[in-house]
Amino acid sequence: MSPIRKGGEPFHYPGKSPGMLLIHGFTAAPQEIQQLGSYLNARGNAILGVRLFAHASEREDILRARFQDWIASVEDGYHLLSDRCSSIIIIGLSLGGALALHAASRLPCSAVIAMSTPHRMPPNPIYFRLRPILRPLSALIQFRPKKFTPWRDMQARNARVQYDQYPLRSLIELEAMLNEMRNQLPRVQVPTLLIHSRTDDAVPGEHMQANFSLIGSKHKQLVWIEESDHIITADHARQEVFDTIGQFLQQVSE
Amino acid sequence: MNIVQNDGRPFFIGSGETGCLLVHGFTGAPKEMRLLGEHLAQAGYTVLGTRLFGHATDQKDLIRARWRDWLLSVEDSYHILSGTCTQIFILGLSMGGNLSLLMSATFPVSGVIVYSTPYDFPVARIRPLIPLLPLVSKFWPFFSKGEPDWNDPSRARDHFEYPDYPIRAAYELNVLLKKMRQALPQITVPVLLIHSRSDNSVHPQHAERILEKIGSKDKRLLWLEQSGHVVIKDSERIKVFKATSDFIHSRSRENSKS
């Protein structure tokens, strides 16, 4: 009766400072950032991969989630890791990237990395048409199936731990979180790396450029990846993503 | 504008192969486990003080909380702690004790220590009304806490918890208690219960009933006399700390081998 789904467990690998705080995306699980965690731990760093509130359990749980709960999950991970390490680097994918940038604007850290991170709600015409009535509508229709996503690495796609449907109520929270993030972007002052795939089907590349232009850091860079869909930490070009992160970490430690 | 209040931060201190997972009580915060945690870290253990969902943020958050969320918080901490420890003891105060016992029925922990832990809903006169609580909560979400029962007032001053009981969450506490009672016979790991005869919130009888129902052969109950409910901070805390580290030391794997 373990309530966390297999593969949805948060993880911690001991190592040296800076500690790497890893944050997964909306309706997903720590599983999608686990390989990145192993890669960074092999470099010697301490790792903590958080589980965001109401993820990787029962999908009804997420209907009760508010975006502040996700910020609190990140803060919990941050506090735990900062008891083990003198400095922290915050890394996130998609919603996790938004949470990472938001955290980096408020909590002491030495760098931040955001991958496949939206700037605002992705341009889905149905979402914007329904947005004014989404709150009452979500009481009637709680979930909608996810559309097919064009992964390059189908094996990685099948290994994925996630809710198979989008919770309508939680989309409002996702949007609220992105609003919070946009407000905070000018306050991000630490070295920042953004990574995005040119063929991201869920969040178009313009989102990275919009985030990039608002980030307050002097030291900021953006890197494009080819041959991957949205989940760039698990899809085909993941090794390229890991190596890009490795190089960036090398630069900021010099 | 952090969401988790400064006094509500979870903590991860100490070192060593043996881990202690500390679980705070209903409407409490990791801070109430801190003194015990520091004692255990000094004794050579890795200590993780978890923050239960909806706690130490805004007490309104507890209205949305379900008992499973709290168990999930403990499970998260268990997985994080197992990243650095080869064996884990789980220790909980009051409702944290209920969660610890429930965890120990399904997770491979090396032992459990529970402090001031209830067997069923602690306020007997409310029990018949519990099915109505979700409805009551819609009109009357919070119930003011009564006078605390500290024996050492200096410890009361730095205590941090929500000022009220969220009524919706009290309903969830009752569900959790039911789940725990069902799980008690399945527990086979060593268990230590610590309870004060002067506990005003959870009557000492609760400890006796838990002791009786636990499936373990290795189970015992340590009585305190003067302390109030928060025994890990109140006047007999040194006795509590010593009993705690002695129990962990004697039930640790490397110790049983030698």
pLDDT in tens, B158-170: 788 898 999 999 9
Residue of B53, B80, B103, B106 for testing the chain A interface, max A β-carbons within 10 Å: B80
Output A131-135 pairs: Cβ under 8 A, ≥24 positions apart: A134/A168, A134/A169, A134/A171, A134/A172, A135/A169, A135/A172
- Positions of chain A with pLDDT under 70: 1-2
The amino acid sitting at A169 is R
Strand ranges inside chain B, DSSP E = 11-14, 18-23, 46-49, 87-93, 111-115, 142-144, 164-166, 191-196, 219-224
Chain B residue at shortest CA distance from A49: B80
CA nearest to B11 within chain A = A80
Residue A236's pLDDT is: 92
The per-residue pLDDT for B255 is: 60
Structural domains of chain A sorted by starting position, each given as residue range(s) with its CATH number in brackets: 11-249 (3.40.50.1820)
Mean pLDDT of the region B212-225: 98
pLDDT (tens digit, 9 = 90+) per residue, B89-121? Answer: 999 999 999 999 999 999 999 999 999 999 999
A176 in contact with B at a CB cutoff of 8 Å?
no
Q: Which residue has the higher pLDDT, B125 or B249?
A: B249
Q: Is the pLDDT of residue B256 over 60?
A: no
pLDDT value of residue B154: 81
Q: Hey, is the C-beta of A14 within 8 angstroms of any chain B C-beta?
A: yes
Mean pLDDT, range B162-189, rounded to an integer: 96
Domains located in chain B, CATH noted: 6-257 (3.40.50.1820)
Q: Which residues of B80-103 are buried (b: 16+ CB within 10 A; e: fewer)?
A: bbbbbbebbbbbbbbbbbbbbbbb
pLDDT score for B115? 98
Contact A121, A175 (CB under 8 A): yes
Closest approach of A81 to chain B, Cα-based (Å): 8
Q: pLDDT at position B258, please? A: 40
Q: Answer whether B75 sits within 8 Å of A84, measured CB to CB.
A: no
Confidence of residue B150 (pLDDT cuts 50, 70, 90): confident
Asked whether B91 and B225 are in contact (CB, 8 A), the reply is no
C-alpha–C-alpha distance, residues A99 and A114, integer Å: 9
Residues of B whose CB is below 8 A from A64: 64, 66
Contact residues on chain B for A169, CB-CB shorter than 8 A: none
Give tens-digit pLDDT for B42-62: 999 999 999 999 999 999 999
State the pLDDT at residue B147.
78
Q: Which strand ranges, in their side-by-side order, compose the sheet holding A192-197?
A: A11-13, A45-49, A16-23, A88-93, A111-115, A192-197, A220-225
With 0-12 CB in 10 A as exposed, 13-18 as middle and 19+ as buried, what is B130? middle
User: What is the average pLDDT score of chain B?
Assistant: 94
Cα–Cα distance for residue pair B74/B103, rounded to 1 Å: 8
For residue B58, what are its two tokens? 């805004």
